Amino acid sequence: MVSIKPVGRSAAVRKYDVLTAMGVHALSQDKALQRRILRLMTLITARYNWQRDELAVGQREIARMWFVDERTVKREMAQLRAMGWLVVRRQGARGHVTEYRLDISQIEADTRPVWNEVGPDFAQRMAGTPEQDDRVIPLPLRGAEVPAPDMSPGTEWALAQGMLHRADAALYGSWLRALTRTGRAGGRLTLKAPSRFHAAYVQTHLTSRILAACRAVDPEVSDVVIDC
């Protein structure tokens, strides 16, 4: 999906609509997700640069704003990346914080079921955005039938599974859902496949995709090994 930046004449309304959709969606979820989305909304209203489509805030500042420690900030930001709501634009380095952007099209996709609860006018405005048109090709039914993974363990693999499922549910269901996390040594993550053939296929064809997803939620992952 392509993120649409709320800029131009209708920018103010657009920003409020996105925040409204996030808030109503949060209120329809469990308390843990409500709190996570509220934290993101606080970051957006306080520090998001809509003109540049950028969120650049250090973990220490976020921790003060959220009244939590930096470990919680790291975990929550990883969860938001796994949801697809935050995308890393530039990884932080010495002297520079990590820069993020909102994936508004993903936020819209996730919040769509509650739009009508706000009102038909709101739902009509939200549905009128450029990314919601006939060019969007839905996932095939076989992929749509694959349930989303449980990300509650919060490990790098649990969060990466959420991203992999969202990117290609059919592929995830066929090859990636059966992989289990068996260990982590430094930057090396070890996953176990149900058979030798399964492990060989994943190692040959899908390791780079798995590594990219794992690094998106935990940049310290440097290698993925598939065992059986």
CB 55 within 8 A of CB 43: yes
Q: What is the DSSP string of 126-194?
A: HHTSTTSSTTPPPPPHHHHTSPPP--TT--HHHHHHHHHHHH-HHHIIIIITT-EEEEEETTEEEEE-S
156 burial type by CB count under 10 A (0-12 exposed, 13-18 middle, 19+ buried): buried
Which domains can be identified in the chain, with CATH numbers?
A: 11-127 (1.10.10.10), 141-227 (3.30.300.180)
pLDDT tens for 108-138 read 989 999 998 998 878 888 886 443 333 333 4
pLDDT tens for 38-91 read 999 999 999 999 888 899 999 999 999 999 999 999 999 999 999 999 999 888
> Parallel, antiparallel, or unpaired: how do β-strands 188-192 and 223-227 relate?
parallel
Give residue 139's pLDDT.
Answer: 41
